[in-house]
């Protein structure tokens, strides 16, 4: 298997785990059960911002907390990094 598909698969899994972590925390909040610490959720969001952002919107979870306004910033940084990596990967083929 090539490195690129492996990295993409790993990234998708990280974001799925991020989505699941936010979902489980929201479920725990509704049940008044043990909660995932906010610091942990933010660290997870730093590595999987697409999953975290999607879960925040889908479940309306942590959307009012000021610190969680970092999640869209994490998402933007990941988009910039992905664009830079894609450009670096594609540029040699364009210039030829």
Question: CA 12 → CA 9, 16, 47, 48, distances in Å?
Answer: 5, 6, 11, 8
Does the pTM surpass 0.85? The reply is yes
Domain hosting residue 43, numbered range? 3-95
Q: Are 59 and 23 in contact, with CB atoms under 8 Å apart?
A: yes
Lowest-confidence segment of 8-12, 19-23, 29-33, 88-92 by average pLDDT: 88-92
Our count of domains for the chain comes to 1
The model's pLDDT over 38-93, given as tens digits with 9 standing for 90+, comes to: 999 999 999 999 999 999 999 999 999 999 999 999 999 999 999 998 888 777 66
């Amino acid at each position: 298997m090539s490195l690129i598909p492996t990295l993409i698969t790993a990234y998708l899994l990280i974001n799925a785990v991020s989505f699941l972590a936010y979902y489980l925390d929201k479920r725990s909040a509704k049940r008044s059960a043990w909660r995932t610490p906010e610091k942990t959720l933010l660290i997870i969001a730093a590595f999987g911002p697409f999953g975290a952002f999607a879960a925040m919107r889908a479940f309306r979870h942590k959307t009012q907390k000021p610190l969680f306004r970092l999640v869209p910033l994490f998402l933007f940084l990941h988009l910039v990094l992905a664009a830079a990596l894609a450009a670096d990967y594609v540029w040699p083929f364009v210039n030829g």
